[in-house]
Every structure is written in structure tokens, then in C-alpha cells.
Amino acid sequence: MATASTSLIELAGSNRSFYVPGFELRVKGAPLPRNVVRDVSEVTYEDGTDRVDGFSLALANWDDAKRAPKYVGLPMARLNEPNAQLFQPDNEIQLLMGYQGDLRLLMTGIITTLDVEFPEQGGSRVTVHGLNVLDRLRRKQYSWTWPDDGATSIRDSDVALALARAPDDAKNRPGLGIQVKVDPAAQSREPALPRVVMQNQYPIVFLLERARRRGYEITIDEQPGGAAPQKVLYFGPTSELANVTYVLEWGKSLQSFRPVFSSARQLAAVTVCGFDRKAKKQIAERVELKDLPQADRVNADLMKYTIAAGREDVVTDQPVNTQEEARKKAFAILREQQQKMVTCSGTTVGLPDLRAGRNVVVRGTGFPFDGVYFLTGTRHTLGEQGYRTTFDAKRIRAEAGR
């Protein structure tokens, strides 16, 4: 989500240099030796709004002089050699990508998979896969509702702080069991929500979704003190990456673009049903798309197609206890389904700041595709073809003033 402090950059007119892409890998805090870096043929980083981000490294695994593997598949007698220790499962790796003199830390991860190839001809190759260290917190799925302390509203940062507690399986109450730090200034700007619901999710994945909706990041750092450093989870505005919104134009900075416009299954009205326990009566709140407040009219320039179709739906599986909650839920459903009218995939020059949860502005593709898009996933690849970023996104509105 773009904020008031977000910078708008027209990539085609910027003076940034994209000629010398680069990457850096640090294993257990130490940079990879130069001779090992030369064996790496491709580095890939992927993220998404609904998943833990991950990486992969493709590298040559063959020593021509010794006629034997270099890193994976060594005989038992050589397992203590430095090369044999580099890519062991559970090793921690930091991945930085970008351009000469401007590398950005994309993630700190752990190695989870080694995919080794011993071909009929040629030397062995290995692809190393890993996930963000946050994946270590993915243990059990829970369902929970906030506020859970009698309050009338809650913010996303409040939810993050609530999840710092240890899980209580006796009460099926979720928790991460790690100290959580938030940004008080950002917390004060967050909207107060009447209810936040987690439904059968891993708490860390749920928190990632909340973070990326706000354009936040989640990282784990070590805080000195005591006999050993303490792990601290940070939930808040990004610090390592620039808070920017890129303007990508077809034929210039947007190398390929594949949008899909679909009015199928769009709703002109929705009825949310529930039960008011205090009044002991059924709830049924019907809201039409044309009733949406102006500020909530996502893709307002496309609403006419949905209203003309006249499709309605009845929702009975949402946890609502009051008429007002049902009305807000109905509005939320209409907003969300409108964001699915135009989706896309695209490719541009490698941009480490282009991440899931950010916005981009697309131009040069005409109606109904020009506009502001919310990134649902990105893939950064640096290899023989240079550095490229591909993305998946959904259109959230027309660009103001155009």
C-alpha cells in the first residue's frame, strides 16, 4: 500500500544506472569466496502476499581437476572441507541483489532443499533452495479473532504485539513466542479496525499478509543483552528497501505486460448473514455496489460493467455479530472482488525495491489496463540474461489525474 511518504519514480525518465547488476551471498555471516561465486550461474528471489519468501541458487557442482563434486555429493572423507560446509541444509544465507554500489538485502533465509543433477554428459550441477528464516515460526495453524480483550477496535501493529506471546494450545490461542517490536509512529497512522480474523492459518503467514497489505516488512534481528543475543521480530515500515512507487510504461520501462480483464463472477450486490447474540436475532445486511462510499470505490471506472451484470450473492460463512459488522463485511467483499477485475503479469528491468505489497503505476496500455496496481508477487532473477524482475498484480484504481 502506497503511503503519503512514498516516492513516485518514472523509471523511463530516471537517471538510474542498470548496466552493472550484482549480487552478494553471505553464508553464516561471511561472504561467499570469489571462486565459489564464479560457479553461481543464476540467483532467484520470490515473494508473495500470501506466502513466506524464498530463494534459489544454481551453481556448477563439478571440479574438473579432481573429477569429483565440489559442494554436494562429496565422499564422507571430504565432508569437513570448507566447500562441503557451505550449502548444508539449515545454513543461514543472506541474499543481496541490485547494482554495483547499491546492493539491497532482500532476505535472510535458511537452506531447505538441495536439488542435485548428475547428468549423462557434463559435470554435476546443484540448485540450492531456501526460505526466509520466518519459516521457522510456521508450526501450527490457528483460528482467532481480535480484539480479544473487550476493546472495540484494534490496529495491525496491535495484532503483531498480541502474537508475541507463546501459543496456548489448551485454549487454541495463537502465538509466536518471540519478542515483537513495532514502529509507534506508523502504528498511530494505522486505521482502527472493528475486527481482525485469522482463519486456520499459521500465525507468521497471517502476519505477513497483514504486513504486506500495509506495505510493511517483517524481519528477525538479534538484540544484544544477557547471556545470549535475543531474537526480536520487527513489524513495520521497510528499512532496507526504498519506499517507492515505480511508473512503468509499455514499450519503455515495461518490457512485457499481460493483463486480463474479466467481468465474470463480479457482484452488483451482496447480502451478509449472521446472528446477533445479544438481541438473539438473525442478521441480513444487503449492500449494492453503487452504495459504496466514494473513497472505497476500487476501480470506479469499471463499476458500470459490474452493475450492468446485476449478479448478487449471499454470504453465510462470515463471523458477524451486529448489523454494522455485516454492512462493513459486505462493503469489504465488494471492494475485494472489484480488485479482481483486472489482473496482470509483467516484466521490467531488475528492481530490488519492487516487492509484494507495493504499488506500481502502469501506463501506455490504454483503457481498462492503465492504472495503479497492487503487487501480489514478484520474482527477481539474475543470470546470463542480466537482472530482470517479473511480477503479478491486480489493478486497484485508475491513476489520479489521467
> Is the distance from CB of 230 to CB of 221 less than 8 angstroms?
no
- Whether 269 shows a pLDDT value over 80: the answer reads yes
- Whether 228 shows a pLDDT value over 70: the answer reads no
362 is a domain residue: yes
376 is a domain residue: yes
For residues 311 and 95, the model is more confident at 95
Together in a domain, 86 and 128 = yes
Together in a domain, 23 and 68 = yes
What's the mean pLDDT in 230-239? 85
What's the mean pLDDT in 302-321? 79
Together in a domain, 233 and 307 = no
Q: Is 174 left (phi over 0), alpha (psi -120 to 50) or beta?
A: beta
Together in a domain, 379 and 256 = yes
75 is a domain residue: yes
> Is the distance from CB of 197 to CB of 317 less than 8 angstroms?
no
- Whether 266 shows a pLDDT value over 60: the answer reads yes
Together in a domain, 116 and 42 = yes
For 391, the domain range is 244-262+341-397
Q: Which residues pair with residue 314 across a beta bridge?
A: 271
At 94-114, the pLDDT tens digits run 999 999 888 999 989 999 999
Count of domains in the chain? 4
pTM: 0.84
Single-letter amino acid code for the residue at 9: I
> Is the distance from CB of 167 to CB of 175 less than 8 angstroms?
yes
- Mean pLDDT is lowest, of 186-200, 211-225, 244-258, for 211-225
137 is a domain residue: no
- Whether 241 shows a pLDDT value over 80: the answer reads no
Q: Which of 310, 338, 366 is the last residue of a domain?
A: 338
Together in a domain, 349 and 252 = yes
Q: Which of 308, 338, 368 is the last residue of a domain?
A: 338
**Mean of the per-residue pLDDT values of the chain:** 87
At 28-54, the pLDDT tens digits run 888 999 999 999 999 999 999 888 999
Together in a domain, 358 and 393 = yes
Q: Find out whether the peptide bond into 33 is cis, omega within 30 degrees of 0.
A: no
How sure is the predictor about 338, in pLDDT bands with cuts at 50, 70 and 90? confident
At 133-192, the pLDDT tens digits run 999 999 999 999 999 988 889 999 999 999 999 999 889 999 999 999 999 999 999 999
Cell numbers standing for residue 275: 446472528
State residue 221 phi and psi, 5-degree precision: -120, 165
- Provide the CATH number for the domain around residue 170: 3.55.50
Together in a domain, 332 and 368 = no
Q: For the residues of 146-180, what is the DSSP string, one character each?
A: E--SS-S-B-HHHHHHHTTSPPBTTTTB----SEE
Q: Which of 322, 338, 354 is the last residue of a domain?
A: 338
- Whether 93 shows a pLDDT value over 80: the answer reads yes
312 is a domain residue: yes
How sure is the predictor about 316, in pLDDT bands with cuts at 50, 70 and 90? confident
What's the mean pLDDT in 328-355? 89
- C-alpha atoms less than 13 angstroms from C-alpha of 145 in its C-beta half-sphere: 10
Together in a domain, 256 and 208 = no
- Whether 3 shows a pLDDT value over 50: the answer reads no
Q: What is the pLDDT of residue 224?
A: 59
195 is a domain residue: yes
Together in a domain, 378 and 254 = yes
Q: Find the largest Cα–Cα distance for the chain.
A: 81
2 is a domain residue: no
- Whether 12 shows a pLDDT value over 80: the answer reads no
Q: Which residue has the cell 542435485?
A: 116
- Compute the distance between CA of residue 100 and CA of residue 115 in angstroms, rounded to an integer: 30
- Compute the distance between CA of residue 305 and CA of residue 322 in angstroms, rounded to an integer: 31
Q: What is the pLDDT of residue 17?
A: 63
Single-letter amino acid code for the residue at 308: A
Task: Please choose, from the candidates 325, 336, 288, 293, the residue with its C-alpha nearest in 3D space to the C-alpha of residue 310.
Answer: 288
How sure is the predictor about 6, in pLDDT bands with cuts at 50, 70 and 90? low
Q: What is the pLDDT of residue 223?
A: 64
DSSP H helices in 87-126: none
How sure is the predictor about 4, in pLDDT bands with cuts at 50, 70 and 90? very low
Together in a domain, 98 and 151 = no
How sure is the predictor about 2, in pLDDT bands with cuts at 50, 70 and 90? very low
- Compute the distance between CA of residue 191 and CA of residue 186 in angstroms, rounded to an integer: 10
Q: What is the pLDDT of residue 226?
A: 56
Together in a domain, 334 and 345 = no
- Provide the CATH number for the domain around residue 252: 2.40.30.150
